[in-house]
């Protein structure tokens, strides 16, 4: 079977330029691209909502790779790499109007 052709969009390249010094991310991306060339349907999962029709897979911690698979021309289009916002571990600040102590008698 012929390998799948990997295409990169400008949006993907722009997002990748920001992280070109992140060696761990680039190694993970290289591994995923090799897997996508072999069998893209076995990599990642389907997206829902606005991104319905595309797939995504985790690269490193909060980085995700979004791609679309086109069976007829035998191509995979890398669309974007997304950094998911991590949850903060800091205590939540209360609004100024919130009473945090009991009134004095």
pLDDT tens, 7-59?
998 888 888 888 889 899 999 999 999 999 999 988 988 887 776 778 888 88
pLDDT tens, 57-76?
888 888 888 889 998 888 99
Alpha-carbon span 46 to 67, nearest angstrom: 10
Domain 5-83: CATH architecture, name and number where available: 2-Layer Sandwich (3.30)
Nearest alpha-carbon partner for 55 in 27, 35, 25: 35
Whole-number pLDDT of residue 1: 65
Domain boundaries, the chain: 5-83
Q: What is the pTM of this model?
A: 0.71
Alpha-helix runs per DSSP H in the chain: 10-17, 23-38
Q: Is the pLDDT of residue 92 over 50?
A: no
């Amino acid at each position: 079977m012929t390998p799948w052709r990997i295409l990169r969009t400008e949006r993907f390249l722009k997002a990748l330029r920001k992280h070109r010094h992140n060696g761990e991310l680039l190694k993970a991306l290289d591994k995923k691209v090799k897997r996508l060339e072999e069998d893209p349907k076995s990599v990642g999962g389907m997206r829902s909502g606005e991104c319905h029709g595309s797939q995504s897979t985790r690269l490193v911690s909060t980085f995700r790779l979004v791609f679309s698979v086109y069976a007829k021309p035998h191509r995979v289009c890398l669309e974007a790499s997304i950094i998911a916002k991590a949850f903060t571990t800091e205590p939540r600040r209360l609004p100024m109007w919130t009473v945090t102590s009991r009134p004095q008698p």
